[in-house]
Structure 1
Amino acid sequence: MRRAEAFLVLLLCLYWTGAQGESGGLTGNDITQTEIQSEILGVKSTSDQTNITPDIWAELKELRDMAIEHSVELRNSKSKMEKLEQENTAIQARLTASEHKNEVLENVVKELQRENTVLEARMNTSENEVVKLKIESADLLDRVTSFEDKNKVLEARMNASENEVEELKRQNADQPKVAFSLGLTDNGLIGPFDTDITLKFSKVITNFGQVYSPSTGLFTAPVRGAYYFSFTTLDGRSNVFRRVYLYRNDKRVLFSYNYSSSHRESVSNSLVLQLEKGDVVYLVLPAGHSVFDDASDFTSFNGFLLFPL
């Protein structure tokens, strides 16, 4: 019975010691074995029995050490708990900040996604426009190439035409200007004569190249070529033959005549001659024939160069 009472006293001491340690009072290190023994001895003095065995002291010491150790562990655990609570508060604050940041990031991501969608749509539109422009550019390039080819053909033709024009100009410049148109006289009737005479056309209407001589009545070819000649004669008499000859050099090449009883009837003819340079052409009035001319140029002689040969 006394042993139980001593044990209860020891437990009360341990409880009081732990309470003092938690409230800032005495620590476990301040409680000495002597104090505990004194408390136990006080209990012993009030007790009727004083024969506690040494084993109880050893157990009490062990219990004291355990109580001190548990008290220190409780204080350390409280410090750790406070530190953990502070860390937990900091972590919660960081989590709150992270959640806010995540929300902001989510909004940014959503905005970027929206902008990306808009940009993708614009990119698709731009790509379609680029494809369309490429097609149009290819079509324009084909058309330009076609125009360039046509222009090259036209340019070649133009160059050829210009060359031909230049050649014609050169030929025309090199070609002598040969043409004449003549009237015989203003004196009326010429002839008849006893011999053949060369008609000398004294009225020069045109004489390009000065190829006809009114003083001799001869046309002289300046170049080898084809020449055209024509003439018309009028006789003022009636009931007579009307004749005229065209000569090249000393050879008669054309003989024209008619007979009429009417008054003032004409004779006309024309031909093309190939002449060498220096050949002469003239009209001859046969003996016994006459011609008539006045200001009306009833009797005329004409000729010109067709082309050189």
Structure 2
Amino acid sequence: MRTVAGFLPLLLCLVWTCAPVTTGDNITQGGNREKGAQLETQTDFSSEIWAELKQLRDMAVEQQVELRNSNRKIEELEQENKVLRVRMNASENKVEELKRENANLLDRVTKTENQNSVLETRMSSTESEVERLQSENADRPKVAFTVGLTDVGQIGPYNTELTLQFGKVFTNIGQAYSPSTGIFTAPVKGAYYFRFNAWDARYSNVLGIKLFHNNKMMTHCYDVNDNNGYIHVSNGFVLQLEKGDTIYMVLRSGSAIWDDTNNRTTFSGFLLFAQ
């Protein structure tokens, strides 16, 4: 557009330069005709020049309009670019924030997975230990009994010792105690606990009871009812038994014992641990 605007004055200068110069001395009739012809030629040339100038002016005006439109468009695009840059910066910041959050989440997931792995290892170890203990417990014998003497009341006195047959069976896990003989037979080698209670309430009666391990007496507990009151004896032992060893209670000679539905005279035992 600047080129066209600068070209217009140049064309005007050329038009004025091409105009003929005449004097009064050379004016003749033929000169008049020649002058008329030159004026026609000059007029046609000027018309063409002015037409071209008008065309150039129109082009310049059109280019000015286009240039203004282009400037506005460029300004709009620059403004849009500013907005896009702001949005792009915001998006990039958001992406960085999300990356940081994802990194934190990844760290947490990794830590959780590691913790889960440790817990799974511990759980597997615990389950294995439980299975081992269950297997041991399944193989370990279970032995426990509690029995009462009788519901009929008095037993004795007798002139000889009597193996007491505790006929009221409350518990007999493992069936190691025989109510028909009154004897407990150890099913396995191990440590066992035994306890007994004996009761009577008759005047001038001697209450005497013994605990035997095989044929060996472990204790002899007795008391005399000399005040016409209740008498009671009890004791307990932890004994090391071999498989097949026997434990039983004996009423000493000349003694009597009492039991009824109140279960005052009892005998109990159980396996502490096998060996």
- TM interval, shorter chain, is 0.7 to 0.9
CA distance in 2: counterparts of 1:208 and 1:128, whole angstroms: 76
- Pick from 37, 53, 60 the counterpart of residue 21 of structure 1: 37
User: Alpha carbons of 1:253 and 1:86: their partners in 2 closer, same or farther (altered >3 Å)?
Assistant: farther
Instruction: Report the equivalent of 1:202.
Output: 167
- Structure 1 range deviating more: 169-178 or 221-230: 169-178
Q: Which has the higher contact order (CA 8 A, sep 6+)?
A: 2
**What's the % identity of the aligned pairs?**
43
- Give me the CA root mean square deviation: 2.8
Equivalent residues in 2 for 1:246-261 (5 A)? 246-261=211-226
Return the offset for 1:259: 4.1
CA distance in 1: counterparts of 2:45 and 2:189, whole angstroms: 138
CA distance in 2: counterparts of 1:10 and 1:123, whole angstroms: 83
CA distance in 2: counterparts of 1:10 and 1:124, whole angstroms: 84
Kindly indicate whether the alpha-carbon contact (under 8 Å) linking 1:211 and 1:220 is maintained by their aligned counterparts in 2. yes
Q: In the alignment, does 2:123 pair up with 1:158?
A: yes
- Pick from 235, 241, 244 the counterpart of residue 209 of structure 2: 244
CA distance in 2: counterparts of 1:174 and 1:16, whole angstroms: 151
Instruction: Report the equivalent of 1:94.
Output: 59
Equivalent residues in 2 for 1:167-186 (5 A)? 167-186=132-151
Kindly indicate whether the alpha-carbon contact (under 8 Å) linking 2:186 and 2:244 is maintained by their aligned counterparts in 1. yes
Q: How far does the alpha carbon of each residue in 1:34-93 deviate from its partner, in whole angstroms, 9 at most, with x for none?
A: xxxxxxxxxxxxxxxxxxxxxxxxxxxxxxxxxxxxxxxxx4x76665554444333333
Higher-Rg member (1/2):
1
TM-score (norm 2): 0.78
Q: Secondary structure at the match of 1:192?
A: coil
TM-score (norm 1): 0.70
CA distance in 2: counterparts of 1:221 and 1:234, whole angstroms: 27
Unaligned runs of 5+ in 1: 1-7, 25-74
Instruction: Report the equivalent of 2:249.
Output: 283
Instruction: Report the equivalent of 1:226.
Output: 191
Unaligned runs of 5+ in 2: 1-23
Return the offset for 1:200: 0.8
Q: Secondary structure at the match of 2:124?
A: helix
Aligned length: 251
Q: How far does the alpha carbon of each residue in 1:159-197 deviate from its partner, in whole angstroms, 9 at most, with x for none?
A: 333333333333333333322111111222222223322
Letter in 2 for 1:264: Y
Kindly indicate whether the alpha-carbon contact (under 8 Å) linking 1:189 and 1:236 is maintained by their aligned counterparts in 2. no
- Structure 1 range deviating more: 282-291 or 237-246: 237-246
Higher helix share: 1
- Pick from 300, 303, 307 the counterpart of residue 266 of structure 2: 300
CA distance in 2: counterparts of 1:89 and 1:301, whole angstroms: 139
Instruction: Report the equivalent of 1:267.
Output: 233
Return structure 1 stretches of 4+ with deviation > 6 angstroms: none
Instruction: Report the equivalent of 2:94.
Output: 129
